[in-house]
């Protein structure tokens, strides 16, 4: 009874507002300690996740991820890894501030859960705006993806091109050059500057093999030499590029060209019929491509409007057969390379009528060009051969003067009608 009376006295002396505030503060304090207890129970697993993620997002693993990204051959795979890499960079910063506020910690926990999800799931949750931003600012990344392969090296635009001429010996030259360790060349003819120019330089570069520092990227497309717009297009791509032209007696070259066409289309007229507009009057059909290609001075004049002679090297198709090592030495000098391809790399095949490649360090069978090379020429009327030599002579003399080289094709008159090989 005394207790209740003392309580009544106490409550009567203390204002009700103060009593209310005191009770409220006790309740808030209790709630605060309850929350802290829950928070502490969650803190340890979170720290364990943070330590685990810390092991993942290290400098070493970042370089591993970057390497995988650069050497990825799948555009979609590259995009997924790129998006995850951006997310990882952003969330790593969030992890560093985990002890400062609970909100950041919660975002970190969410990120840890996201990282446990598959790669495709992470890509799905990227916003369209982020995807557009990635596309707008990924020019360099796209170039890296185009230029790098899973093997080694970087894809580059060519520093040297064999631009001509058809049936002059360009394939033999290219195969010999590919023996050199500092040359990487495309096997097939890209035909970029005459047929595929609208596909763009990225498409062209993607055709190139990967090269290391110090290696030269090359390609060969003989039709470039007779394509009027090729010089300007190549100059636009690389004005300091080196150009290689393999030339051959235009009469022999024309017969070789015809022989190739004849093997594919046996129904075509004879060489004599195609070479003349009117054989009785001696009117030669210079519009026939087999003959027009051989007017070298006409085509060279176009190239000299864009490139100096110092950036051009002319290979004799005839000497490439009788002295391949000598011609290869000159080409290697022109490209600024050490003379590695020598006479030890060649073996003359009497059946084919031209040299074959071999490895000097072993005794393996020499590697010769395919069946499309070395066909026997059809026998041509000697009078037609004589008239063609007479037709080409002034153009040849002009070509000698322009290049400063005498290829001595006039000494070969009479040899083209005896069924030689191409």
Q: Is 168 labelled a binding residue?
A: yes
Q: Give which of 161, 151, 164, 314 is closest to 234, Cα–Cα.
A: 161
Q: Is 171 labelled a binding residue?
A: yes
3-state secondary structure of 252: helix
3-state secondary structure of 111: helix
Question: What is the 3-class SS of 64-86, one letter each residue?
Answer: HHHHHHHCCCCHHHHHHHHHHHH
- For the chain, the residue count is 422
Q: Is 77 labelled a binding residue?
A: no
The 8 Å CB, 24+ separation contacts for 27-34 are none
Q: Is 99 labelled a binding residue?
A: no
3-state secondary structure of 10: helix
Q: Is 404 labelled a binding residue?
A: no
Spatial CB neighbours of 167, under 8 Å, sequence gap ≥ 6: 222, 248, 253, 256, 257, 260, 422
Q: Is 419 labelled a binding residue?
A: no
Residues facing 357 on adjacent strands = 346, 367
Q: Is 167 labelled a binding residue?
A: yes
Q: Give which of 268, 261, 272, 270 is closest to 386, Cα–Cα.
A: 272
Residue 139 corresponds to which tokens in the numbers above?
């020019």
- Burial of residue 169 (number of CB atoms within 10 Å: 0-12, 13-18, 19+): buried
Q: 38 to each of 24, 34, 44, 110, 180, how far by Cα in Å?
A: 21, 7, 11, 18, 71
Active-site option among 69, 91, 155, 167: 167
Q: Is 248 labelled a binding residue?
A: yes
Spatial CB neighbours of 62, under 8 Å, sequence gap ≥ 6: none
Q: Is 256 labelled a binding residue?
A: yes
Q: Is 253 labelled a binding residue?
A: no
Q: Do 178 and 209 meet the contact criterion of CB atoms below 8 Å apart?
A: no
Q: Is 55 labelled a binding residue?
A: no
Our answer to whether residue 167 is catalytic in this structure is: yes
d(CA 330, CA 333): 5
Q: Give which of 218, 130, 119, 215 is closest to 173, Cα–Cα.
A: 218
Q: Is 67 labelled a binding residue?
A: no
Active site residues: 167
Binding residues: 167-171, 248, 256, 373-377
Binding residues for 3'-phosphoadenylyl sulfate: 167-171, 248, 256, 373-377
């Amino acid at each position: 009874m005394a207790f209740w009376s003392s309580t009544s006295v106490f409550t009567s002396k203390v204002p009700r507002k103060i009593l209310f505030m005191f009770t409220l503060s006790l309740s808030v304090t209790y709630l605060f300690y309850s929350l802290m207890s829950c928070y502490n129970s969650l803190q340890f697993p979170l720290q364990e996740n943070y330590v685990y993620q810390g092991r993942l997002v290290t400098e070493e693993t970042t370089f591993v991820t970057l390497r995988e990204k650069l050497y990825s051959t799948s555009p979609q795979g590259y995009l997924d890894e790129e998006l995850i890499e951006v997310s990882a960079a952003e969330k790593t910063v969030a992890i560093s501030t985990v002890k400062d506020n609970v909100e950041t910690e919660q975002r970190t926990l969410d990120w840890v859960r996201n990282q446990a999800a598959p790669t495709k799931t992470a890509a799905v949750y990227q916003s369209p705006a982020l995807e557009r931003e990635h596309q707008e600012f990924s020019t360099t990344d796209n170039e890296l993806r185009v230029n790098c392969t899973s093997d080694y090296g970087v894809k580059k635009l060519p520093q040297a091109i064999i631009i001509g001429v058809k049936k002059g010996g360009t394939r033999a030259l290219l195969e010999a050059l590919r023996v050199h360790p500092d040359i990487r060349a495309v096997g097939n003819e890209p035909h970029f500057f005459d047929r595929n120019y609208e596909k763009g330089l990225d498409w062209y570069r993607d055709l190139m093999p990967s090269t290391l520092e110090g290696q030269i990227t090359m390609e060969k497309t003989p039709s470039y030499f007779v394509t009027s717009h090729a010089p300007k297009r190549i100059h636009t791509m690389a004005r300091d590029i080196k150009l290689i032209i393999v030339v051959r007696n235009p009469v022999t070259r024309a017969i070789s060209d015809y022989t190739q066409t004849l093997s594919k289309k046996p129904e075509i007229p004879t060489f004599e019929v195609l070479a003349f507009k009117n054989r009785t009057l001696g009117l030669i059909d210079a519009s026939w491509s087999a003959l027009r290609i051989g007017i070298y001075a006409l085509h060279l004049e176009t190239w000299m409007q864009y490139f100096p002679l110092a950036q051009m090297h002319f290979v004799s198709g005839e000497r490439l057969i009788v002295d391949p090592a000598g011609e290869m030495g000159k080409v290697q000098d022109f490209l600024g390379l050490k003379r590695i391809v020598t006479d030890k790399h060649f073996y003359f095949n009497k059946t084919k009528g031209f040299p074959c490649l071999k490895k000097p360090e072993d005794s393996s069978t020499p590697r010769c060009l395919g069946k499309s090379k070395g066909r026997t020429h059809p026998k041509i009327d000697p009078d037609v051969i004589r008239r063609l030599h007479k037709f080409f002579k002034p153009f040849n003399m002009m070509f000698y003067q322009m290049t400063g080289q005498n290829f001595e094709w006039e000494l070969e008159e009479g040899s083209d009608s005896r069924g030689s090989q191409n």
